[in-house]
Amino acid sequence: MGVELYITDTLRGEKVKFEPLNPPIVTIYHCGITPYNYSHIGHLRAEVAVDLLRRTLRYFGYIDIAVSNFTDIDDKIIRRSKEEKVNWEEIPEKYIKYHLEVTRKINNLPFYVYPRVTKHIKEIIDFIKELVDKGYAYVGKTGVYFDVDKYPYYGQLSRRTEKTLWEQETDVLQDKKNSYDFALWKFRKPDEPFWSSPWSEGRPGWHIECSTMSTRYLGNQIDIHSGGTDLIFPHHENEIAQSESALGIRPWVRYWFHIGMITIKGEKMSKSLGNIIPAMDAIERYGAMELRYYMLSTHYRKPLDFNEEDISSKIREYKSLTSTISTLLTIFGELEINGYLNDEEREVFNKIIDYNRKFVMAIADDLNVSEANRILNEANSLINKEVLQKPKYSLVLASINFFKTVNQFYGVWDNLFYGKRENVEIVYKLIDILMEVRSKLRENKFYELSDYIRNKLGELGVIVSDKGKESFWKIEKL
Q: 31 exposed, middle or buried (CB, 10 Å; 0-12, 13-18, 19+)?
A: buried
Pairwise CA distance, residues 173 & 165, whole Å: 15
Scored b (16 or more CB within 10 A) or e, 183-197 reads: bbbbbbeeeebebeb
Four-CA torsion 12, 18, 22, 23, nearest 10 degrees = 180
The residues near 231 (Cβ < 8 Å, ≥ 6 apart) are 31, 258
Pairwise CA distance, residues 404 & 356, whole Å: 10
Pairwise CA distance, residues 138 & 136, whole Å: 7
What Rg do the C-alpha atoms of the chain give, in angstroms? 26
Does the annotation place 314 within a ligand binding site?
A: no
Does the annotation place 30 within a ligand binding site?
A: no
Pairwise CA distance, residues 239 & 154, whole Å: 10
C-alpha dihedral sign at 321, 325, 328, 330: negative
Does the annotation place 239 within a ligand binding site?
A: yes
Does the annotation place 236 within a ligand binding site?
A: no
Helix, coil or strand: residue 113: strand
**Amino acid, res. 216:** R
Contact call for residues 121 and 183 (beta carbons, < 8 A): no
Contact call for residues 364 and 60 (beta carbons, < 8 A): yes
Identify the H or E element spanning 377: helix 369-382
Q: Which of 254, 299, 210, 260 is nearest to 18 (CA)?
A: 254
In sequence order, what DSSP letters do the residues of 172-197 get, joined into one string?
GGGGSSSTT-EEEEEEP-TTS--B--
Pairwise CA distance, residues 146 & 126, whole Å: 14
**Amino acid, res. 255:** Y
Q: 135 exposed, middle or buried (CB, 10 Å; 0-12, 13-18, 19+)?
A: exposed
Does the annotation place 210 within a ligand binding site?
A: yes
User: Edge-to-edge strand order for the sheet containing 253-259?
Assistant: 63-68, 25-30, 222-228, 253-259
Annotated binding site: 31, 210, 235, 239, 271
Annotated binding site for Zn(2+): 31, 210, 235, 239
Where is the binding site for ATP, in residues? Answer: 271
